[in-house]
Amino acid sequence: MKITGAVSIKKPLTGLTLNELSILVNQLGMPSFTAGQISDWLYKKKILSIDEMTNLSLHYREKLKENFTIGRINYSHIQKSVDGTFKYLFTVAGNKSIETVFIPEKKRATVCISTQVGCKMNCLFCMTGKQKFSAHLSASEILNQILSLPENEQLTNYVFMGMGEPLDNESGLFKALEILTAGYGLALSPKRITVSTVGILPELKRLLDETRCHVAISLNSPYHEERLSLMPVEKVYPAKEIADLVKRYDFSHQRRISFEYILFGGMNDDRRHARDLALFLSGIPCRVNLIKYHSIPGVNLPETILENMIPFRDYLSSHGIISTIRTSRGEDISAACGMLSGF
Ligand code: SF4
């Protein structure tokens, strides 16, 4: 990170790792221990202005303010669902918008975080996929969705399942995960974080090697051709290779792997699919989340019915795979799975 006197747009401090803060304070001629003080203000005390860093001298605070801001941005719009789900619109660089969803439940409070504006993956069933990809979110913009969420203090679970493919934004995601879990950062247990992915293999391997976060793989079919028709990424990273990779890791203890399976009526919700899904997943200690497809404009895919979902779930459960029908939340405000668009 290079800091020059000619910087006209101030940069956010939120999103900097402790290592980056150390380089920064060094460049500004500040004592090295101030890096830890700054991370403490940013991620533990969650302050909103550099002036609040009262254990830094006035001189150092003024120096920081010349080129930096805290980087916290409030949401610009809010929608509330009849089921209590909230959808927040945040403005990010380039005057673009992203959506973040807060899902309160009896014993949990979950934030669904976005990592990109639009998405390159173009999954047939997804509104975000219909938008052209336009930007990766920075670690600062990813963390702001958590830190500036009005319900921040209630949060128990953090899921990277919003707009974008998290593993396609390697730099933003891994920095955000470090800051969320590091002792100098938010110090969250990785067990409270789930990263959902279509399965970009090199970055999935990195996620499995370098973090202890839970992983959710978007599968949607046990068959190559059918998954390919729903998810173009199958051509490059086939589900078979994803299964081969995850079989090399231990998911029998604290860390969980789950497979997301969106059900389409009369297409992938019958007994044959349930049987072959169970066969496909054999040897992986995993869970399956069954998700009802929500119709989106311009896409001719059929919705399933609960009468098909229940026997599908029961078949998997009776074959040793813990399966749950995920309750749709926020459908009336287009906050449910696959419906986020940033508009
Ligand atoms: S489902 Fe996820 S990966 Fe696929 S297009 Fe939508 S946001 Fe991208």
Q: What are phi and psi of 87, to 5 degrees?
A: -120, 125
Question: Taking 50 as the threshold, does the pLDDT of residue 4 lie above it?
Answer: no
Q: Supply the residue whose CA is at minimum distance from atom 4 of ligand 1.
A: 123
Of 1, 31, 30, the C-alpha closest to 13 is 1
pLDDT value, residue 232: 97
Atom of ligand 1 nearest to the CA of 196: 2
Q: Which residue has the tokens 């599968």?
A: 219
pLDDT in tens, 145-195: 999 999 999 999 999 999 999 999 999 999 999 999 999 999 999 999 999
Q: Whole-angstrom Cα distance, residue 83 to residue 278?
A: 32
- R_g of the chain, CA atoms, integer Å: 21
Strand partners, 261: 290
What is the Å distance from ligand 1's center to 218 Cα? 9
What is the Å distance from ligand 1's center to 105 Cα? 25
- The b-or-e profile of 73-84 (16+ CB within 10 A means b, else e) is bebeeebebebe
- Give catalytic residue positions: 99, 337
pLDDT value, residue 323: 97
Q: Whole-angstrom Cα distance, residue 157 to residue 342?
A: 22
pLDDT band of 5, cuts 50, 70, 90: very low
**Residues 26-45: what's their mean pLDDT?**
98
pLDDT in tens, 88-143: 999 999 899 999 999 999 999 999 999 999 999 999 999 888 888 999 999 999 99
Cα atoms found within 13 Å of the Cα of residue 23, Cβ hemisphere only: 8
What is the Å distance from ligand 1's center to 24 Cα? 35
Q: Supply the residue whose CA is at minimum distance from atom 5 of ligand 1.
A: 129
pLDDT value, residue 2: 42
Atom of ligand 1 nearest to the CA of 165: 3
Question: Taking 50 as the threshold, does the pLDDT of residue 62 lie above it?
Answer: yes
**Residues 238-250: what's their mean pLDDT?**
97
Average pLDDT, the chain: 94
Q: Whole-angstrom Cα distance, residue 69 to residue 65?
A: 6
**Residues 28-55: what's their mean pLDDT?**
98
Cα 66 to its chain centre, rounded Å, is 32
pLDDT value, residue 3: 42
pLDDT value, residue 235: 98
pLDDT band of 341, cuts 50, 70, 90: confident
What is the Å distance from ligand 1's center to 269 Cα? 21
Pocket residues for ligand 1 (CB within 6 Å)? 119, 121-123, 126, 128-129, 163-165, 198
Of 297, 335, 327, 291, the C-alpha closest to 80 is 335
pLDDT in tens, 252-275: 888 999 999 999 999 999 999 999
Range scoring the smallest mean pLDDT among 2-16, 265-279, 300-314: 2-16
Q: Supply the residue whose CA is at minimum distance from atom 3 of ligand 1.
A: 165
**Residues 4-17: what's their mean pLDDT?**
76
Q: Dihedral (C-alpha) 172, 178, 180, 184: value to the nearest 10 degrees? A: -130
**Best mutation site among 165, 168, 293 for ligand 1, i.e. most ligand atoms within 8 A of its Cβ?**
165
